[in-house]
Amino acid sequence: MRKISQLFTLLFILTTALTAQTNKTQKNDETSNPITKASGLSLGGYGEATYSRNFYSDNVFRYMTPETYKNDPAHGRFDLPHVVFFVGYEFGNGWRMNSEIEFEHGGTESAMEIEPEEGGEYEAEVERGGEVVLEQFWIEKTFNKSFNLRMGHIIVPIGLTNGNHLPTQFFTVFRPQGERTILPSTWHETGVSLWGKVDKWRYEVQVLGGLDSELFGSDSWISGASASPYEFKVGNKLATALRLDNYSVPGLRMGVSGYYGQSFNNGIKTTSSDKYKGIKGEVMIGSFDFEYNKHNWIARGYFDYGHLGDAQTISVYNRNLPNQSASPRSNVASDALATGVEVGYDIFSQIAKMKQKKQKLYLYGRYEFFDSMYKVSKNITDQDWCGRQVLVGGINYFPIKDVVIKAEYSAGLMSSAFKNENAINIGVAYAGFFTK
């Protein structure tokens, strides 16, 4: 607690000093300072509607006894993966607010009904399963182009997808499978961020709430540990995230990012047993990603590698948690890996009429490999079905800049013991501002 108090004291002093300096600069030259932008309201959002035809079993036990379900029929699914509305406001003098509320899979619905079969009793019914999430809410102060302070609930920019999660920022119908398997997507935590741009570089440094190791799992590594099943997020552990992007080459952005934080004993119930003394559950993630967008080509790629300390102890601890726990109560790997690349070409760029209308049609291909149990500790069984390759081919049609229609064939290549998970996916999506 002392370290936390010292951190916020330092931030308060720094903010006060920089605000005073900024105000002084504004008085000397109000016309040239970019943070004197007039106040105003911004409204926007993004959303996706999808259909999938999956040529494999949807039985939850298909990985435990694959022979039993290998001949199951194909199945179809309609979904609304993400529908997001964001509201921003410029207060003036460099202060702004931004918030995003996200409805995943159509949100949730419940209703009170009278059941005639049960003597007219009132009964609560769940009408729809989904989530409503406050994905972002932060207050930001801009001091100058190279230094900005953001405080609140913020995006953690680890990997490619977390910083580029709008449906117009990736070709596939769904968010890239590898990163959303091993990392939270979209990863958002409450904390403080310092960011800015210096010449051809952009940097970001964050101090955040740590993850909860009880929510780690074999098929998802740490991806389920960002959200809290409670009305608050336990803050016994802090974490740091760093990101650095370079824009020196025209049309090319290259970025590296990293994360470090302890995760054990960061749940609503903690243990003081000597058996777990010294167990930290350190989560370390390193990532490289890039995007090239020029000459009618778009190419994106990433490589993420993560390590969990004390993975064996955490696996045993989680398996012994009560059935009522929010934990998956499964083993977790010491190391996880995901990598992928996609390349697309705008074939409408060669058709004068379509180019004049500013319509685009990208023909693309994508490859991914990921494994949520890439390395396991001693006495932990590796689950072969957690590692797979994915090949995707499809199109993205942009009738206008902010709207895209997608179609693809996806081949999920499993180890020989399991049936490949192939699918046809179709989607329509938008991303943009409603105000200018």
Q: Which pLDDT does position 117 carry in this prediction?
A: 47
CA nearest neighbour of 339 among 299, 407, 390 = 390
Instruction: Write the pLDDT tens digit of every residue in 111-170.
Output: 655 555 445 555 666 666 788 888 999 999 999 999 999 999 999 999 999 999 999 999
Largest Cα–Cα separation, the chain: 77
The DSSP call for residue 226 is: S
pLDDT above 90 covers what percent of the chain? 77
Strands 40-54, 95-104: pairing is unpaired
Q: How many CB atoms lie within 10 A of CB 224?
A: 19
Give the mean model confidence (pLDDT) for residues 307-322: 95
Read off φ and ψ for residue 170, nearest 5 degrees: -150, 155
Every domain of the chain and the residues it spans: 40-107+123-433
pLDDT at 54 over 60: yes
DSSP 250: T
Q: Is the peptide bond before 186 cis (omega within 30 degrees of 0)?
A: yes
Q: What are the angstrom distances between the C-alpha of 170 and each of 33, 253, 371, 397?
A: 35, 15, 21, 12
Partners of residue 138 on adjacent β-strands: 98, 152
Give the lowest-confidence range in 3-12, 71-80, 347-356, 401-410.
3-12
Residue 332 in tokens: 């977790």
Q: Report angle CA 177, 182, 188 to the nearest 5 degrees.
A: 95
Q: Measured between alpha carbons, how far is 348 from 355 in angstroms, rounded to an integer?
A: 6
Distance, CA of 308 to chain centre: 19
Matching CATH number, 40-107+123-433, of 3.40.50.880, 3.10.20.30, 3.40.190.170, 2.40.160.10: 2.40.160.10
Joined together, the tokens standing for residue 390 give 């994915």
As a residue count, the chain comes to 436
How many other C-beta atoms lie within 10 A of the C-beta of residue 93?
A: 17
Residues 205 and 191 sit within 8 Å (Cβ to Cβ): no
In 145-251, the DSSP E strands lie at 147-155, 188-198, 201-209, 238-246
| pTM given for the model | 0.88
Q: With 70 as the cut, is the pLDDT of residue 407 above it?
A: yes
The 10s digit of each residue's pLDDT in 360-400 is: 999 999 999 999 999 999 889 889 999 999 999 999 999 99
What are the pLDDT digits (tens) for 24-50?
A: 444 443 333 333 445 699 999 999 999
Q: What is the pLDDT of residues 259-270, one digit of tens each?
A: 999 999 999 888
